[in-house]
Amino acid sequence: MATNLRIKIIKSLQQKKNRLEHRLFVAEGRKLVLELLDSKFAKNIDAIYTTADFVDKHPFSHPKLEVVGTKDIERMTSLQTTPEILAVVHFLPEPNLKSPSKLTLYLDGIQDPGNLGTILRTAEWYGLKQIIMSPNCVDIYNPMAIQATMGSIFRVEVGTKNLSDYLAANSFSQVIGTTLGGINIRDFEVKYPCLIVLGSESHGMQVENQKRCSDLVTIPNFGSGESLNVTIAAAIAMDRFTS
């Protein structure tokens, strides 16, 4: 029931410490909620709140569904435009990180939640099944990250592991770091299975993680720009190594 206390708790899930305390996050808007309902994580739903207008337009039933007023959802949401529906969801289970696929992405210290979500969405486009994050990455359950995934969060497995620990438990033919001064990515011959390591937006890879890479590649520039956005670099790397 959407009591004042319940609404206050849902609103508090915008902050990481409260998400960790309750082990809950929020999926907001029609697309995300419908993607959730169509995924294997539908069982993780704690509650769904929607307006009467939405139910009239999109009839569906769910045991955790509760029809509330627009003002109630306005008090729950993190979005500037109040959605007609949102779901409160239990954290997704940590994936088994011991089965590397042909191509796996490791994110080292990504801080921008929009970038993180977009990388996840792009990874799904290129057929990646799993992404590994360093412990100092932004929280995948950050509301901006969840929105930016456009539902990919429910189909691409996301795990958290130190690179050293992950490499100790998994075997790759190549561990490829993206950095300035490496081999031209166009000329690089990849061997599978491989792990692509992408560093943070501001600082790149941590020095110790760069040393763990078997190869370093760079995306050549033809202009005077200082650097690429990490989401663009990730897309170029995935496109190059999946083609």
Strand partners, 196: 105, 176
Instruction: Name the residue with tokens 């929020």.
Output: 26
| Domains delineated in the chain | 4-90 (3.30.1330.30), 103-242 (3.40.1280.10)
Question: What does pTM read for this prediction?
Answer: 0.92
- Name the token pair of 190: 């990849």
Give pLDDT tens digits along the chain (243 positions): 789 999 999 999 999 999 999 999 999 999 999 999 999 999 999 999 999 999 998 888 889 999 999 999 999 999 999 999 999 999 999 888 776 779 999 999 999 999 999 999 999 999 998 999 999 999 999 999 999 999 999 999 999 999 999 999 999 999 999 988 889 999 999 999 999 999 987 788 899 999 999 999 999 888 776 778 899 999 999 999 996
Identify whether the C-beta of residue 217 lies closer than 8 Å to the C-beta of residue 189: no
Closest of 227, 21, 3 to residue 12, by C-alpha: 21
Rounded to 5 degrees, φ, ψ at 232 are -70, -45
193 close to 144: Cβ distance less than 8 angstroms: no
